[in-house]
Amino acid sequence: MIEDYSKAKRRGDAQYRKDVTGGRYPYLTALDDMIASADIVAENRLGVMEIPISAISGTKTRGRQEAFATNFMPILDLNTEFAMKWSSLYDAAMNEGIRDAILVYEYMGRFYVQEGNKRVSVSKFIGSDSIMADVIRFMPDRTGSKEDNIYHEFVEFFKAAGFYGIRFSEEGQYQKLCDVLKLPMSKPWDVEVRKSVKAAFSRFSKIFIKKGGDRLEMKTGDAFLLYLTVFGLYNIQDVSNAQIEKNLDQIWQEFLKESDDISLVKEPELLEKQEKPNIFNIFTSKGFRGDVLKAAFIYEKSTESSSWAYGHELGRAYLSEKFGEHIETMVYDDCGTPELVHEALEKAAEAGAHVIFTTSGMMIDESVKARVEHPEIYILNCSVNTNYNTIRTYYSRMYEAKFIMGALAASLTDGHDIGYVELCPQYGTLANVNAFAIGAQLINPYSRIHLKWMELKDSDWREELRRENIITISGPELTPPKVSGKEYGVYMVSDGDVVSNIAMPIFDWGRFYEIIIDSILSGTWDNSTLTKDHKALNFWFGMKSGVVDVILSRELGYASRKMTEALKKGIVEEMLNPFDGELRSQEGIIKKETDPRLSGEEIVNMRWLNDNIIGTIPPIEAFNDRAQYLMRISGFMTNKGDVSDEGSSDR
């Protein structure tokens, strides 16, 4: 009826006035105008399917552009033929529904109507969530932008899932969704699986929006993935709406932050009181009230086989010695899968642990789940730049030590070539590589750093360095206690055998754990001003805090020691920073000399290589399964085909 058109027109007129007042274009967007200068590489007909009405953004051509406001409500007068046709379509929709599919073009995940604008308008007016559409996709060429990368990830996801609606704000999330669902992204899902996941997302979306999710910065897709990570798909499919709402309440704090709302806490002073309590009266403060604090440590591997686990084990032993009878520690090792991590967390909770340290980035999701289930337990994960605010994370600024190691290596090697071996690209690792290269440049402007990745498929970094006649190498930080190899720190080789160890950087996890335990015991952990907002807290301490250092070989001369101490002093007193002054990548200038030094966030998020590095940042699929898992779960993604050109020292 014409009365319904009048109601719809009032909505359209209101939106029109709002857009005009706000200085925005008041009509529907025309796709033809948008893509006039775009590089479209393919036009693919996807067929008839159900699409979310919320994803319809405009028209294909300018033809009916000015008949609607930007909310797809009509704005033409009541006495027009358009108004009569709209009213008749509304009456038919109320009696029989919208039967004919509309024709739309999809571009970058949004839809633009070629045929059926009035059907969309009527459907939106009556409150429909979706509509049947014959979809044609305009496929843009790759640009390398974040938006472009996310969209092309969606295209791969669509091939498996076959439906629209789930949108993410960060790269790598479609693969993570498949991982959480334990479904492949490389082949189509079964029809029933597709229906099940789509129905779960639809149900979750309605409840999330009902609770106010549409007023948050977080996309519904991001919230859906977080919910699945913590509670699982069955906690949508097999529980009541009331239970889903209750689960959402438990993690609502996570939804209040933006995707990049991360605070890097660089010094421990923010965790300390003005007057630090004495170790013997610390238990009478406003902090921990018990007689014995129980702390659990969860390792991915055993301390005998892993230098990483061994380093944390040294830190645990230091705590026992430091706090004596006031602390009880427990260890769960060889927890290399999410299932084993979950089991260890539950055992630690049952054993009465007050604080749990999960010492690998691959344990982050299980740590969040455990914190939600056991909010009374302090749970910390050893990683950097993770954006959960349910738990806190901790890591060291190892790049400070790597800078000194690079300078040492350049001062002692014959020639200009030095090898550098790293596990795989993750948050912070490229800062380590670049700091080492910059330190080497500081001593020898002609130095060349040959970068090798340990976890590349079908790659032998030792053989590659041998063929390149590299004799000075920066390897892993430490070796396990029962492993006789000497490939750690900066070392020199001859005929493939290590002949001398020059120096090694160390994580002093004992000092780091002491800072954290002191904070929990004294009550400053929860009183910090940092807890007033919704940011994810990452404790990222360095040499100044005593959690990172460089140990030199006793065979080094006094000149090397003197240089090392001078560099250490400069870093501790904040007079020296590898990322100050002019910075040049393989592609050109990153930072001019007069620009401020890089922020902590810029350092952690580095995705470039210094200009004296010979090597690349390979795409994620070039690495083995374990490395890919670490890169995905941390959120550090490199894109298909995104491989840097090899560096050259002749620039």
Q: Which of 585, 263, 634 is nearest to 425 (CA)?
A: 634
**CA distance linking residue 514 with residue 511, whole number of Å:** 5
Count the Cβ atoms, other than its own, within 10 Å of residue 77: 9
Instruction: Identify the three-state secondary structure at position 77.
Output: coil
Alpha carbon 585 to chain centroid, angstroms: 23
Write out the two tokens for 355: 């604080």
Residue 640 lies in a domain: no
Write out the two tokens for 649: 């020292």
Instruction: Identify the three-state secondary structure at position 144.
Output: coil
Residue 644 lies in a domain: no
Report the phi/psi class of residue 342: left, alpha or beta, with left for phi > 0 and alpha for psi in -120 to 50: alpha
Mark which of 141, 176, 192 sits at the end of a domain.
141
Number of domains in the chain: 4
Question: CA 572, 575, 576: angle at the middle one, nearest 5?
Answer: 85
* Structural domain of 355: 262-395+510-544
Alpha carbon distances (Å) from 428 to 264, 283, 310, 326: 12, 36, 21, 35
Q: Which residues pair with 327 in a beta bridge?
A: 293
What number is the average pLDDT over the span 217-239? 92
**CA distance linking residue 638 with residue 425, whole number of Å:** 8
| C-alpha neighbours within 13 Å on the C-beta side of residue 280 | 0
Same domain, 520 and 380: yes
pLDDT band at 194 (very low <50, low <70, confident <90, very high): very high
Same domain, 313 and 348: yes
**CA distance linking residue 404 with residue 618, whole number of Å:** 26
Q: Is the pLDDT at 193 greater than 60, yes or no?
A: yes
What are the pLDDT digits (tens) for 409-468?
Answer: 999 998 999 999 999 998 889 999 999 999 999 999 999 999 999 999 989 999 999 999
Alpha carbon 232 to chain centroid, angstroms: 20
Give the amino acid at 389. N
pLDDT at 588: 93
Instruction: Identify the three-state secondary structure at position 29.
Output: strand
Residue 648 lies in a domain: no
Same domain, 134 and 195: no
What are the pLDDT digits (tens) for 200-226?
Answer: 999 999 999 999 998 888 899 999 999
Write out the two tokens for 493: 């080789």
Same domain, 169 and 270: no
Count the Cβ atoms, other than its own, within 10 Å of residue 533: 12
What are the pLDDT digits (tens) for 630-642?
Answer: 888 777 765 443 4
Q: Is the pLDDT at 136 greater than 50, yes or no?
A: yes
Residue 481 lies in a domain: yes
pTM: 0.79
What are the pLDDT digits (tens) for 36-76?
Answer: 988 999 999 999 999 999 999 999 998 878 899 999 999 99
What number is the average pLDDT over the span 143-155? 92
**CA distance linking residue 485 with residue 435, whole number of Å:** 26
Please, are residues 476 and 443 in contact by the beta-carbon 8 Å criterion? no
Same domain, 118 and 227: no
Same domain, 408 and 489: yes
**CA distance linking residue 209 with residue 86, whole number of Å:** 29
Q: For the chain, what's the residue count?
A: 651
Write out the two tokens for 135: 């979809």
Q: Is the pLDDT at 594 greater than 70, yes or no?
A: yes
What are the pLDDT digits (tens) for 371-400?
Answer: 999 999 999 999 987 778 888 899 999 999
Q: Domain holding 39: CATH number?
A: 3.90.1530.10
**CA distance linking residue 327 with residue 321, whole number of Å:** 9
Alpha carbon distances (Å) from 247 to 18, 167, 287, 372, 387: 37, 22, 29, 9, 19
Mark which of 259, 293, 318 sits at the end of a domain.
259
Same domain, 572 and 458: yes
Write out the two tokens for 564: 């090392």
Same domain, 244 and 154: yes
Please, are residues 378 and 525 in contact by the beta-carbon 8 Å criterion? yes
DSSP string, 99-120: -SPEEEEEETTEEEEEE-HHHH
Same domain, 208 and 225: yes
Q: Domain holding 358: CATH number?
A: 3.40.50.2300
pLDDT at 634: 74
Mark which of 518, 544, 570 sits at the end of a domain.
544
Q: What are residue 361's phi and psi, to 5 degrees?
A: -60, -25
